[in-house]
Amino acid sequence: MDLSDKYISYIRVSTDRQGKSGLGLEAQKTVVNGFISQSGGKLISEYVEVESGKRNSREQLQRALEECKREGAMLVIAKLDRLARNVHFISGLIESGVPFRAVDMPEANRFVLHIMAAVAEHEGRAISERTKAALAAAKARGVKLGASCQALADKKIADANGYSEKIGPVIEQHKENGLSVRKIADRLNFDKVPSYTGAQWHPSTVQRVWKRYSALPVRPTT
C-alpha cells in the first residue's frame, strides 16, 4: 500500500458513549494530527461522524472515501479496533479500495480488515444467539419477561394516585368555591403547591389530577 503525502481524516464519536470511551473528538484529532505530522504529510480534509450507536448510515465515511478517491489521498483514522466492531464500517472500507492508515494499528491492511469483519460478524451472531437462548431459558423457567417494566409502570401509577389523594381535596374545595380550572391552576402556583412533576400548574395539569382523583375507588374524606 503506497503512502500518500495527502491525508483525509475520519473521526467517529458517539453522543452517548463518547465520555466513557476515553478517546473523544479532541483526543482523536490530536492523535491523527500527530501521526500526519510525523509522516511529513498534510491534512486536507476532516470528516466527523456523530452517531448514537443505532445508526449505520456512515454518511461522513462515504464522503471521506469519495474525496480520497478524487484527491488521491490516504484515509487516516485514530482507532481502528473500536470502529472495527462495526461490520458496516469494515465492509465500506474494504469495498472502497482507498488506502488507509490507523494510528493504533499502522500494520493493518485489507487482509487484516477481512479478518476483523469476519470476527465482528461472528460476534454479532453469537451475541444474538446467546440472547435468544437466555430469553428462552428464562421463559421455560416461568419467568415473566418484562416483569421489571410492569413493576415500574405499576409504581408510577401508584405514586400518581397517591399524589392525587393529597391534592384532589384541595382542587375539590376550589371547585366548590366556584373557581375555574384556570384560576385553580393560578391559585396553586400562587400558593407554591408543587405539581406531580415539580413544574408549574396549568389547566390541563389540574384536569389530569382531578380526573385521577375522581376515578379513585374510594374517595378519601376531607
Q: Long-range contacts of range 217-222, CB-CB < 8 Å, 24 or more positions apart?
A: 220/165, 220/168, 220/169, 222/169, 222/172, 222/173
Q: pLDDT tens digits, residue range 39-57?
A: 889 999 999 887 654 455 6
More confident residue, 105 or 30: 30
Terminal-to-terminal C-alpha distance of the chain: 83
Percent share of the chain, pLDDT over 70: 73
pLDDT tens-place string over residues 131-162: 777 777 767 776 665 655 566 667 778 888 88
Residues 110-130: what's their mean pLDDT?
Answer: 70
Q: What is the pTM of this model?
A: 0.49
Name the nearest CA neighbour of 82 among 18, 38, 143, 131. 18
Name the residue type at position 60.
Q
Taking 60 as the threshold, does the pLDDT of residue 23 lie above it? no
| Angle ∠(108,31,76) on CA atoms, nearest 5 | 45
Residue 77 class from Cβ within 10 Å (0-12 exposed, 13-18 middle, 19+ buried)?
Answer: buried
Structural domains in the chain, CATH included, are 6-122 (3.40.50.1390), 147-214 (no CATH)
Q: Which residue has the cell 487484516?
A: 112
Residue 74, strand partner residues: 7
**Residues 84/112, Cβ–Cβ less than 8 Å:** no
Q: CA 4, 73, 71: angle at the middle one, nearest 5?
A: 130
- Nine-digit cell string for 123: 460476534
Distance CA 56, CA 28 (A): 20
